[in-house]
């Protein structure tokens, strides 16, 4: 999970270290990227609504060759939230919904607020919330009020659980909490001597977590990295401008597991429900080498251990026979009995490195292009005219209109 206030800058040339692409450990299953202050001049914003913004395109270009697709994204002015996931998980991710809540200038022009993506992941509900809260030392109350408002308003009136009702909620962003009371020299000395612990008790978010009931269930890893704000551009020197802002941990990642809050077992009891999903923080770090903005990006790497409540894809599909551009081809598929199919469902042919669900080469409507149907499954044809002459490695994906997501994916095959 990445949070980064990019200060309206363009993407940097390389994000390998940010995304830990060069690490020797196991590869990530999912990337959740929350950006704040993405360039949102009105003209940019309007053209970005029609096309993907430069940051989305940038991350797709980096991640799609590695087998990740953009699962979902949501944008509100300068706030952008992107989720990329490995192909293999696609059929087990359902009920995707996005939402945004404006705060800021009387909620008028959405310069502050929150954007959220929620989903059912192997049957567990998970919610990701990227926030940009009000700035300045004296606005702690306003930050807390805004966050509470965002929590209440997300998915209100829709047939979706509230953010706090999800099994796991990740809350992150430029939360803008500052270090109270201490003077700038003491803060800078403590940082220079790597004695960050001297500053923790005056961190406004840590202070609020002790007082505010709704924050007490949120967990955060230890702040063993330098405060990530405010730096001179392209340097690791704190603000030398006239304002000389006091350094602060404005960029944070917290999480909350619902079961831990409500089902703590009594002495000597064992609670089965607690075991269905758990979150482990593997590392929580800042990345000092990125200098395009006055904030440094922060990443949290998490292990999500869950007991799958969903283990069968809703639809299983595979290509029939040899595929080439010389003749129409056939697709076999079968669905589980309870699958809510629709006349608007389609099966797409995708390159293995596809970027997102609309990145198909061609598709067939499951109803209009059906040629046979029996208990064992159905067959659909795909026209040779649309199949690439050059061939290559491809996948088939079944898109459900009712569930607004890919519910089945084939093994890769050659054309």
Question: What pLDDT digit, counting tens, does each position of 301-357 carry?
Answer: 999 999 999 989 999 999 999 999 999 999 999 999 999 999 999 999 999 999 999
pLDDT band at 47 (very low <50, low <70, confident <90, very high): low
Is the pLDDT reported for residue 44 higher than 80?
no
What is the predicted pLDDT for the residue at 41? 67
Which of 10-24, 264-278, 318-332 is least confident? Answer: 264-278
The rounded mean pLDDT for the chain is: 91
| Domain ranges across the chain | 2-306, 315-414
What is the arithmetic mean of pLDDT over 360-365? 96
Higher pLDDT, 267 or 387: 387
Cβ contact 249:203 at 8 Å: yes
Is the pLDDT reported for residue 161 higher than 70?
yes
Which of 33-37, 45-49, 95-99 is least confident? Answer: 45-49
Is the pLDDT reported for residue 207 higher than 70?
yes
What is the arithmetic mean of pLDDT over 143-166? 89
Is the pLDDT reported for residue 43 higher than 70?
no
From the list 243, 250, 276, 246, the residue with the least C-alpha distance to 262 is 276
Is the pLDDT reported for residue 237 higher than 90?
yes
Fold of 315-414: Immunoglobulin-like (2.60.40)
pLDDT band at 410 (very low <50, low <70, confident <90, very high): very high
What is the arithmetic mean of pLDDT over 7-20? 96
What is the predicted pLDDT for the residue at 53? 84
What is the predicted pLDDT for the residue at 260? 72
Is the pLDDT reported for residue 48 higher than 70?
no
Higher pLDDT, 142 or 111: 142
What is the predicted pLDDT for the residue at 26? 79
What is the predicted pLDDT for the residue at 252? 98
What is the predicted pLDDT for the residue at 185? 96
pLDDT band at 23 (very low <50, low <70, confident <90, very high): confident
What is the predicted pLDDT for the residue at 375? 85
What is the predicted pLDDT for the residue at 267? 52
What is the predicted pLDDT for the residue at 390? 92
Fold of 2-306: Deoxyribonuclease I; Chain A (3.60.10)
Q: What is the CA radius of gyration of the chain?
A: 23
Is the pLDDT reported for residue 194 higher than 80?
yes
What is the arithmetic mean of pLDDT over 361-379? 93
Residue pointed to by tokens 């089945």:
408
Enter the tokens of residue 344. 């608007």
pLDDT band at 154 (very low <50, low <70, confident <90, very high): confident
Q: How far apart are CA 123 and CA 304, in angstroms?
A: 13
Enter the tokens of residue 65. 């060759």
pLDDT band at 158 (very low <50, low <70, confident <90, very high): confident
Pairing status of strand 370-374 against strand 251-257: unpaired
What is the arithmetic mean of pLDDT over 150-177? 91
Is the pLDDT reported for residue 107 higher than 70?
no
Is the pLDDT reported for residue 106 higher than 80?
no
Residue pointed to by tokens 């929620």:
118
What is the arithmetic mean of pLDDT over 19-26? 86
Cβ contact 395:67 at 8 Å: no
Residue pointed to by tokens 């299953």:
29
From the list 118, 60, 85, 169, the residue with the least C-alpha distance to 406 is 85
């Amino acid at each position: 999970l990445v949070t980064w206030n990019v200060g309206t800058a363009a993407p940097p040339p390389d994000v390998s270290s940010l995304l830990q692409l060069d690490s020797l450990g196991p590869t990530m299953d999912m990337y959740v990227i929350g950006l704040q202050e993405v360039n949102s001049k009105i003209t940019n914003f309007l053209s970005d609504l029609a096309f993907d913004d430069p940051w989305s395109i940038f991350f797709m270009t980096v991640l799609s060759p590695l087998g990740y697709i953009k699962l979902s994204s949501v944008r509100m002015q300068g706030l952008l939230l992107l989720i990329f996931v490995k192909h293999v998980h696609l059929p087990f991710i359902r009920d995707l919904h996005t939402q945004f809540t404006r705060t800021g200038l009387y909620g008028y022009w959405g310069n502050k607020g929150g954007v959220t993506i929620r989903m059912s992941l192997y049957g567990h509900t998970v919610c990701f919330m990227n926030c940009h809260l009000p700035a300045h030392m004296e606005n702690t109350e306003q930050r807390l009020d805004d966050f509470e408002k965002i929590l209440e308003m997300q998915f209100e009136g829709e047939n979706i659980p509230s953010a706090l009702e999800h099994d796991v909620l990740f809350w992150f962003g430029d939360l803008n909490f500052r270090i109270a009371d201490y003077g700038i020299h003491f803060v800078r000395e403590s940082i220079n001597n790597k004695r960050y612990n001297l500053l923790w008790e005056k961190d406004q978010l840590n202070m609020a977590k002790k007082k505010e009931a709704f924050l007490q269930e949120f967990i955060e890893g230890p702040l063993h990295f330098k405060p990530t704000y405010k730096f001179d551009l392209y340097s690791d020197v704190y603000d030398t401008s006239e304002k000389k802002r006091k350094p602060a941990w404005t960029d944070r990642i917290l999480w909350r597991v619902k079961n831990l809050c409500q089902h703590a077992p009594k002495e000597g009891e064992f609670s089965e429900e607690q075991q269905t999903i758990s979150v482990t923080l593997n590392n929580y770090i800042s990345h000092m080498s990125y200098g395009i903005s006055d904030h440094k990006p922060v990443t949290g790497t998490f292990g999500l251990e869950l007991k799958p409540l969903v283990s069968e894809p809703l639809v299983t599909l595979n290509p029939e026979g040899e595929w080439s551009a010389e003749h129409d081809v056939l697709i076999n598929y079968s669905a589980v009995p309870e699958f809510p199919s629709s006349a608007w469902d389609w099966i797409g042919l995708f390159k293995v490195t596809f970027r997102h669900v609309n990145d198909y080469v061609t598709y067939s409507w499951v109803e209009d292009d059906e040629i046979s149907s029996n208990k064992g499954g159905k067959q659909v044809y795909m026209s040779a005219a649309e199949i690439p002459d050059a061939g290559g490695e491809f996948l088939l994906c079944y898109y459900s209109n009712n569930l607004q997501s890919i519910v089945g994916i084939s093994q890769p095959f050659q054309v």
